[in-house]
Amino acid sequence: MEARLNLYGNPVAAKFFKYINSAGKAISDSTLPAATQELVKIRASQINGCGFCLDMHTKDAAHAGETATRLNLVAVWREAKVFTDAERAALELTEQGTRIADAAGGVPDDAWANAAKHFDEDQLSALVGLIALINAYNRVNILVQQPAGDYQPGQFD
């Protein structure tokens, strides 16, 4: 399978990714826990069906020490005992923010309030930015049918 567009060789795409990756750097440098960041990226990518991002973020998470059990249970986090209350709140906000078009009123107040119990304002800002950012990456990769499976941990560092 070949991508519809070479995102790595096109100058406009390169410029776009330069700026969007800068946004990602602001988030990765935040105090939002790195493990939570990867869980958010994985869950949004599962919902959106982005194979490229799932390949990347599951491999990066495993490389950083995330357990196979937790990675395998992200999609069913509500039933799994392996996530903290803070991670659960982040995953709920991720689902609500990713499925925003499915909810007439947007993200419910209770999902926001639960996240606000576990994260300070800077972390909430990072979490909101991360949810928006991973959804943007998912959409780009789905639009161009970026193939999955070849990613190596740290490939884009």
Average pLDDT taken over every residue of the chain: 95
The angle subtended at Cα 105 by Cα 100 and Cα 106, nearest 5°, is 30
CATH numeric code, 11-143: 1.20.1290.10
In the predicted structure, residue 104 carries a pLDDT above the cut 80: no
Residue-wise pLDDT tens digits, 34-83 = 999 999 999 999 999 999 999 999 999 999 999 999 999 999 999 999 99
- What is the arithmetic mean of pLDDT over 108-124? 97
Name the pTM for this structure. 0.95
The domain locations on the chain are 11-143
Q: What is the C-alpha separation between 84 and 107, in angstroms, rounded?
A: 21
Query: How buried is residue 115: exposed, middle or buried, by Cβ count under 10 Å (0-12/13-18/19+)?
Result: buried
Evaluate whether 135 touches 93 at the Cβ level (below 8 Å): no
In the predicted structure, residue 157 carries a pLDDT above the cut 80: no
- What is the arithmetic mean of pLDDT over 7-24? 92
